[in-house]
Amino acid sequence: MSDDLGPWMEGLADANAPAALPDPGTVLGTYKLIEVLRDGGMARIYTAEHTGLARRVALKMLAPQYAADAKMRQRFFSEARAVNRVEHEHLVSITDFVEDSGPYRYYIMELLKGETLRDRLTALRVLPMQRAVAIMGQVADALAAIHEAGIVHCDVKPDNVFLSERAGQRDFAKLLDFGVAKFEESGAAPISGEVLGTPAYMSPEQVASKDVDYRSDVYSFGVVLYELLTGKLPFAAASPDDLAVKQLSIAPPAPSKTALLPERIPEALDTLVLQCLARDVDARPQSMQEVLLRLRMISHPTGVWTAMASRLRDLVATRRRLVLGAAAAGAVL
């Protein structure tokens, strides 16, 4: 290359390089960036303030190196659209999104005050059983709602559960981050795609790059509940490969056998967690609604179990009829 062209080419390369993420103080439309809340691989979350209303919000911005990629932009905004489709108290409210603002792509959501479940685990290492069940009951409620809307979260983990206080209720949970979620238009057939998620919380079918459906979230939910109750992950592994082998080949010990606290874990909870962690998807609870009902039966006084048990029997009977009906249809075909 000619020496005369060198500086010109370097300048051209700089011009084509992705823009850097903006610093606090930058004004984007009607929002002023105040501070960085969280940095992730794909995106950064800021505290921002509406310049006209002086209202504080969270602004999630796609990293510029991904903003130039149409597929990554689609994935990013799928999160905003997915959450907007499901209005639920245990999901974050998203109020606006900007798909074309120069080099920046972002959306606006409610600003939460509190800490993630990961922060709580780091501080306490393990949670008392009733508190763990109460928090995960809310997560199960949120997952049941998104599953009904045809969405599989694919990355259920403590980092993606936020705890705050609401109307005097302690540990009010919100399910976060649908950035790797998968979507079904019909809400019936399993879906497939790239292997995405966090290895320690992945279902065996995710690890094996197989099709995933709602029961993959059931497995990941079981991993989180196991960790809250015991202070440990279901599998101790020396490497990612070792972890994958264990996820695909063995069953974990019951939570009651490994718990750090002396508090007794009831058999019903032991059984539920281990069923969520079954390698065979058909051996797991077949819906988060079933998981939620069973958690409520475990956490409520004996006197209210009868009605819940009746609902659970109806749910299981309905599931059995659907399975038998599908099998019969297959036999006819």
Here the tokens at position 168 are 């005097």
Q: What contacts 247, CB < 8 A, 6 or more positions away?
A: 202, 204, 207, 235, 279
3 is annotated as an active-site residue: no
Q: What contacts 216, CB < 8 A, 6 or more positions away?
A: 152, 154, 203, 205, 206, 281
Q: How many residues are there in the chain? A: 333
DSSP 91: B
- Count Cβ atoms below 10 Å from residue 84 Cβ, excluding itself: 14
**Best CA proximity match to 25, nearest among 12, 35, 17:** 35
- Selecting among 96, 119, 155, 280, the annotated active-site residue is 155
Q: What contacts 284, CB < 8 A, 6 or more positions away?
A: 215, 218, 219, 222, 275, 276, 277, 278
- Count Cβ atoms below 10 Å from residue 112 Cβ, excluding itself: 18
Active-site amino acid positions: 155
